[in-house]
Structure 1
Amino acid sequence: MVENEHLSDKAKLDLKLVELAKAGKQSAYAELMDRYRDSIYFMMLKMVKNPDDADDLTIEAFGKAFSRLDQYSPSFAFSTWLFKIASNNSIDFIRKKRIQVTSIDAGYMTDDGERMHVDAKSSTMNPEETIMQGQRVTHMRLLVSKLKPKYRELVEKRYFEEMSYEEIAEEMNLPLGTVKAQLFRARDFLAAMMDKTKDSI
């Protein structure tokens, strides 16, 4: 991967982490998530106005980005690429839920100081947002496989199969509140595992 000499020092470190992640170093995934989790979350919160939805969309954004690191080009900053994936994902969510969104036209600022504009009215989606079948197993999937079966199934349905809470509840014959509570707990377990992996490597 050829490094762009115009990247900031922060972006160059991101690039090194991406290369390590692609090489299979698990701690690199955790480091990338630590560096951008809060920024992505607050961007999602600004767009969808709901903390639970923002949390879901944040995890989904990282999952999608990590599943196709091979598509990332160092001709621009990793943060720009990640924020674009996150914004496209939230736009898709907004359209599906028909959420009334405010304060999007002003855009948002990435950690590298680049202002990104969000067009929620656009009728076309970035092709990067289509999850390709046959992608290599990602770090997120490896972590999910270590969850207890009841949590693993819920996470797979919610984040990999992109089912709604209501669809999961109906398919698994569970109360909607139980589905949400167990997914919340599963996210806590995943975050703890990522922190443990980072600290031990």
Structure 2
Amino acid sequence: MLRAAVLVSGGGTNLQAILDAVKCGTITNTEVVGVISNNRNAYALERARAAGVPAKCVSPKEFQDRADFNKALMDAIDELCPDLIVLAGFLVVIPSELIRKYENRIINIHPSLIPAFCGTGYYGLKVHEAALERGVKVVGATVHFVDEGTDTGPIILQKAVEVQEGDTPEILQRRVMEQAEWIILPKAIDLIANGKVSVQGRHVTIVR
């Protein structure tokens, strides 16, 4: 049974997609053992509690410096003994020590087809604003392993979504979530839980 810890910062729609997929059996062989947020007011914490999942806030505002926060975050994660850490809209730079300790065991969902519209400064609505400003016809989402770069880790899954005439960033964001993020993030977790993902360098192979 894969022990998954989910890290969130906001509303937790991707967390809800994971919880629903575990409940209905789309994600198999997996237990969500805890949810951690850097934001005490994150609705994601309420989603976790409603599902009976332990939820905790570790906020950088409560520590004098980043090193103390990083240690507290790592301690909170280690307490859960996770096999996999899922970043589901976690808007915090992950400590290098954590990445090294959990190498190829941290995954992230990004709302674009990497390498487009990714890296420093591209998060949340900003991704969709940039895509519409550039006039692209296809956007999407990517699930990737986390390395010490920003959105540079090995890509696990991607799914494309068409841009439609009259889209606003908010409308496009919602469509990407519904048609891509909420589908490929649970799928990636299920593949990992069942030993169907292997990593060599920057390349991921899915065992069918």
Structure-1-length-normalised TM-score: 0.34
- What is the TM-score normalised by the length of structure 2? 0.33
Larger % of helix: which? 1
